[in-house]
Amino acid sequence: MLLRNSGLVIALAVVAGATLAAQEAATPAPVGGCPPEPAAFHKCALEKAKAFTPPRTPTGKPDLQGYWRGRLSQAFSVEGVFGNEPLVGSLVMPWEKAPPMIVDPPDRKIPYQPWAVPIGRIGVNHNQYLDPRTACGSAGVPRLALQDADQILQPDGDGYIVWLFEDHHSQRVIAMDARPPLGADIKVTNGDSRGRWEGNTLVIDSRNFNGYNWFDDSGNFYTDAAHIVERLTMIDRDTIHYEVRVEDPKVYTRPWTLVWALVREKEAGFELLEEACREGERDRERLLQTGIKYYFGDPWRGR
């Protein structure tokens, strides 16, 4: 078990990005003029959004375009890191203490059904399965938006919003055209997304997930029945309030909500770089030899 965990840690360290998010979460500076703690930020940001008029595209839509990075987010656990987790104090890549990103329910824990607790909360997934992100898949929704840099584009015609992620060259195409959803038998990693504007907020409604993705390094998870609604609202020119409501009757007792910030990347000339993953990956075979398995939803399948 010790050996297996250190192998996993090395793989995660190679994938990087995670540590950066953690360090940023530890800084006490305000984000968008709001307190740097997800629940306090959430309350403050919703107030600030009421008083802010976002820049507009030529066709009058709120202009969210540009490069962004997750802030107030960390890769370890959406439920927060309190100091008693197995990897706090690890010499290779220590987890750092961080507040929960969950703002609802009030106890700020994922409202798992009892069977799912020992799977998701640093349990079966974490100990027996290879993190799907380490296996070079897309990190999935909403985990993509807490890792590395991303880019929002609002192409001509307003029919789509494109959200590109440096993390393993992942992409999401969000249809704004109100055509019918995909058939229920088509499952895709990042879900089938329909977007709409509610005032100044971009609302993205996604279904058809294959359920092969986690929220975080801990193995917190959803299934192929997940329904995820994201809300992106600018609270100033350089800060987006990012709210994610997750519903999945197979695995939770009620819907729950995550919040973090997306902060504009302002480095001059910044562009997304190619992050090939599988093409240069060297660790998967060794990890599999330790008995750890690929994650394709086996712990929840059949529920």
Partner 1 sequence: MRPGFTSVLMAVLLLLGATRVAAQAPAPPRASDTRPNLQGIWQVLNTAAWDIQDHSARLGVPAGQGVVVGNEIPYLPAALAKKRQNFETRATADPETKGFLPGVPRIMYMPFPFQIFQTRDEVVMVFEYDRGVRNIYTNGTPHPRGPLNWWMGDSRGRWEGNTLVVDVVYFTDETWLDRAGNFHSEALHLVERYTPAGPDHINYEVTVEDPNVFARPWTMRMVFYRRKEPNVRVLEYDPGRLMDEANASR
Which stretches of the chain bind partner 1, using CB under 8 A?
A: 58-59, 65, 135-138, 153-157, 159-160, 162, 164, 168-171, 173, 175, 179-180, 182, 186, 188-190, 192, 212, 269, 271-272, 274, 276, 278-279, 293-294, 296, 298
Contact between 103 and 39 under an 8 Å Cβ cutoff? The reply is yes
- Closer residue to partner 1, CB minimum distance, 175 or 229: 175
Identify which of residues 92 and 288 has a Cβ nearer to partner 1 in the complex.
288
State the nearest-atom distance from the C-beta of 157 to partner 1, in Å. 6
Q: Any alpha helices (H) in 18-174, and if so which ranges?
A: 18-26, 38-51, 117-120, 124-128
Q: Tell me the CA end-to-end span of the chain in Å, nearest whole number.
A: 28
**Nearer Cβ to partner 1 (128/257):** 128
Q: Are 109 and 273 in contact (CB under 8 A)?
A: no
- Cβ of residue 73: shortest distance to partner 1, in angstroms? 22
Coil, helix or strand for 44? helix
Residue 14 or 182 with smaller CB distance to partner 1: 182
Q: Cβ of residue 121: shortest distance to partner 1, in angstroms?
A: 23
Which C-beta is closer to partner 1: that of 46 or that of 162?
162
In the complex, what is the shortest distance from the CB of residue 18 to partner 1, in angstroms, rounded to a whole number? 20
Query: Is the CB of residue 229 less than 8 Å from the CB of residue 205?
Result: yes
DSSP character string of 55-74: -B-TTSSB---EEEEEES--
